[in-house]
Structure 1
Amino acid sequence: MTACAIETAADGDAVREAVFTIAADGSYAARLAGEGDARFPERWTLDGPEPYAVPLPADQPEEPDTGLLPLADGRVLIHRRQGGASHAFGGGAGRHSFSLLYPTGPRTGELPVGTVECERLELLPPAPDGSRAYALSVGERSTTVWQVAGGAFGPEYVAEVAGRCSGGVWLDRTGRMLALDREADGVTKAVAVDLERGGEVTPLLQIAEGSNDRLLLADPDSGLLLIRSDAPGRDRLGWGVLGSMLPVRFPECLAPADCAVAPFAVQPGQVLTPESCAVALRIDGAAGSWVGVWRPSGRRLHHLAGPEGWLAGAGLWTPRGVLRLPYATGAVPCGVARIEAPQDVVITEPAQAERAGGEPFEAPDTPVVCKPVPLQQAPLTGRGARG
């Protein structure tokens, strides 16, 4: 499971057009390098003996809100907004153009893919197969899923989902099941969208009737889910397991005082052992940004210093538990630091139930039906079958 560094808009919306995005297989990454009026795409190669960067400048500088997404073949999808005021999700009505960039000698090759005309549009995280790319167009009452790369005829309509959707997490290795955070009647709930069945929607998170339940990360190998919900009374990080009948848990260690905590990568390859997965978190506090490492079985949040110039919120795990963190400094413009996951004393006895917000989560005295992650009836069955 890889992740990207996310910028946050002034209104608090998470912007998927990130400052650093890693391909689904960890082979490449892309970012908008430069500063001010001299920004340009840059591709990083991560799967060789040493990382290296290749600049992909166009004939003119890119806008600060330009989106980039690396594909597994080394090309980089670029999303440019044309017309309308600049906005975290694309601004006013206008055109969204897509092209594929690739190095060709000393210059940058550019293959136009096509355009989408809409008001608001954002790239989704890299698709698991590494060859396709998707985007969300958010309307007043519904959200459209577009395939913007990897098709035969340019951008293609995929599905329309009722409600205003955000986020975007892939639930399987095939790119069939997509989780979105859907707002309806003032409440946000994560839903699973089957892209092979015309966008058929299945409830994913239903922790409490009126709670806002969002999915942040999912690991298809183990089924581990990282969740943010206000069911405990305030926004808290929690975890559950895809298809499990156990309740979602909200560990106290994931709510350090005076800090913002956001997961960005989950250790892959831990099939059927979600409690052993190492999770990397970005922690922001008064002292700056640093790295947290946590496992459900250990119930302890380890605080680690990131490398100088860390592209905060970006990184990926190896299956053996090595966390790779990209960084850029004046002396090292393209670097990857490696951190071994700290060892935990595994706690095997059942945790004692605490009040709302403890581990595991219990509803307050008011009788509220708290459901687990309800995917037993969904089309995503059997992680071993990959979707």
Structure 2
Amino acid sequence: MTAPAIETAADGDALGAAVFTIAADGSYGARLAGEGDARFPERWTLDGPEPYAVPLPADQPEEPDTGLLPLADGRVLIHRRHGGASHVFGGGGGRHSFSLLYPTGPRTGELPVGAVECERLALLPPAPDGSRAYALALGEATTTVWLVAGGAFGPERVAEVAGHCSGGVWLDRTGRMLALDREADGVTKTVAVDLERGGEVTPLLQIAEGSNDRLLLADADSGLLLIRSDAPGHDRLGWGVLGSMLPVRFPECLGPSDCAVTPFAVQPGQELMPENCAVALRIDGAAGSWVGVWRPSGRRLHHLAAPAGWLAGAGLWTREGVLRLPYATGAVPCGVAPVEAPEDVVVTETAQVERAGGEPSAARDTPVVCKPVPLQQAPLTGRGARG
């Protein structure tokens, strides 16, 4: 495979690390700008005629692993770690404080919203309603979901799940159903957590008994799921449909041997048409990082050059199929590059029309995803197990 000419990802950017976070409705973005010991939060406005950035510096520089999450009202939640830190899951023990930042004239307004005392804690992706923010705290035997912004009285425990959980994908547009990757007995499976029923847990992915199955992305409009699993024999990227008994597919084109492929955005607005959703992927290889675009119905991974200064792994789709990629360079400190989704020659076969039109795995016995609880039935008693 030949990679296109691209700009290498920024130094220190680990694969999968969120260097730029976009609000649930695409209105704002936030990142930690600056370098070295001079880092500060920066908010981008994305829904106007031209993107622009507003610095939100505090009285002192921020640590490199400070967490940021933009809300739909323009405020930015900041997560600071005190008494020890790690770059991904806030380790080292101590205190985790949260504040809301907002521009006020030439200065930065800061509204403290509380703190959580725990050893390891990380922000979850922006909640679909745009007004709340959640975090995941790991304990010795359980994982706690905290509402850290948007509640009435500061941080609140909303769910406690048995086992060690990671990831975090929202399954609906209300912020009720949260998917987490839970490790138990050395195997990782994705479960759905109902935040309105005290954290009631329902199995979501059970591709094979001993396989490690993780949910990477979900689209509430179409039901499309992007999954990583070692069920085919080694770690592969696959796709399925929420609520379906159809096999999980592991397309060959999503498993290049010389690159790491990570999905980061799904085209919205494709109700009941998961096969037509365009998926944006970050591709990391020896030449750097670039963009991939793929649709289940097309069976082809398109390789596209990323804009210079792309904040690798960040971007969002419009309903019309335009991928918007944020970038920052010396000449353009705040930019968004539009990329039209390439057209696909849709492959249709009579034998597969009833199987969601997707590409089968190369394996003869395609693993089947166990049917997850449909969102509208999730609150029903007896459909899930506590903890």
TM-score (norm 2): 0.90
Alignment gaps of 5+ in structure 2: 1-8, 353-357, 379-387
Distance 1:350 1:67, change over 3 A: farther
The correspondence for 1:374, drawn from 371, 375, 379, is 371
Aligned length: 366
Which consecutive aligned stretches of 4+ in structure 1 deviate over 6 angstroms post-superposition? 5-10, 362-365
Q: Please give the alpha-carbon distance, in whole angstroms, between the structure 1 residues aligned to 2:19 and 2:149.
A: 20
User: 2:172 aligns to what?
Assistant: 172
Matched, 1:127 2:124: no
Task: Return 43-52 or 82-91, whichever deviates more.
Answer: 82-91
Distance 1:303 1:350, change over 3 A: farther
User: Which string of whole-angstrom CA distances, capped at 9 and with x for unpartnered residues, describes residues 363-386 of structure 1?
Assistant: 677xxx9432422466556xxxxx
User: 2:338 aligns to what?
Assistant: 338
Matched, 1:274 2:299: no
User: 2:5 aligns to what?
Assistant: none
- The one-letter amino acid paired with 2:65 is D
Alignment gaps of 5+ in structure 1: 353-357, 382-387
Distance 1:278 1:245, change over 3 A: same
TM superposition shift of 1:86: 3.7
User: 2:198 aligns to what?
Assistant: 198
User: 1:62 aligns to what?
Assistant: 62
Q: Please give the alpha-carbon distance, in whole angstroms, between the structure 1 residues aligned to 2:375 and 2:145.
A: 20
Q: Report % sequence identity.
A: 85
User: 1:385 aligns to what?
Assistant: none
Distance 1:335 1:222, change over 3 A: same
User: Which string of whole-angstrom CA distances, capped at 9 and with x for unpartnered residues, describes residues 88-117 of structure 1?
Assistant: 311222000000000000000000000000
Distance 1:6 1:374, change over 3 A: farther
Q: Please give the alpha-carbon distance, in whole angstroms, between the structure 1 residues aligned to 2:210 and 2:166.
A: 18
User: 1:152 aligns to what?
Assistant: 152
Matched, 1:111 2:108: no
User: 1:284 aligns to what?
Assistant: 284
SS in 1 for 2:275: helix
- The one-letter amino acid paired with 1:337 is A
TM superposition shift of 1:84: 2.4
Pairwise CA RMSD: 2.2
Q: Please give the alpha-carbon distance, in whole angstroms, between the structure 1 residues aligned to 2:69 and 2:377.
A: 26
SS in 2 for 1:73: coil
User: 1:303 aligns to what?
Assistant: 303
TM-score (norm 1): 0.90
SS in 1 for 2:173: coil
Distance 1:173 1:125, change over 3 A: same
Q: Please give the alpha-carbon distance, in whole angstroms, between the structure 2 residues aligned to 1:377 and 1:67.
A: 32
Maintained 8 Å contact 2:296/2:359: no
- The one-letter amino acid paired with 1:97 is S
Distance 1:339 1:292, change over 3 A: same
User: 2:77 aligns to what?
Assistant: 77
Q: Please give the alpha-carbon distance, in whole angstroms, between the structure 1 residues aligned to 2:288 and 2:313.
A: 12
- The one-letter amino acid paired with 2:371 is P
- The one-letter amino acid paired with 1:102 is Y
Q: Please give the alpha-carbon distance, in whole angstroms, between the structure 2 residues aligned to 1:377 and 1:306.
A: 37
Matched, 1:181 2:184: no
Distance 1:281 1:359, change over 3 A: same
Maintained 8 Å contact 1:39/1:63: yes
Q: Please give the alpha-carbon distance, in whole angstroms, between the structure 2 residues aligned to 1:306 and 1:179.
A: 30
Q: Please give the alpha-carbon distance, in whole angstroms, between the structure 2 residues aligned to 1:180 and 1:195.
A: 12
TM superposition shift of 1:271: 0.1
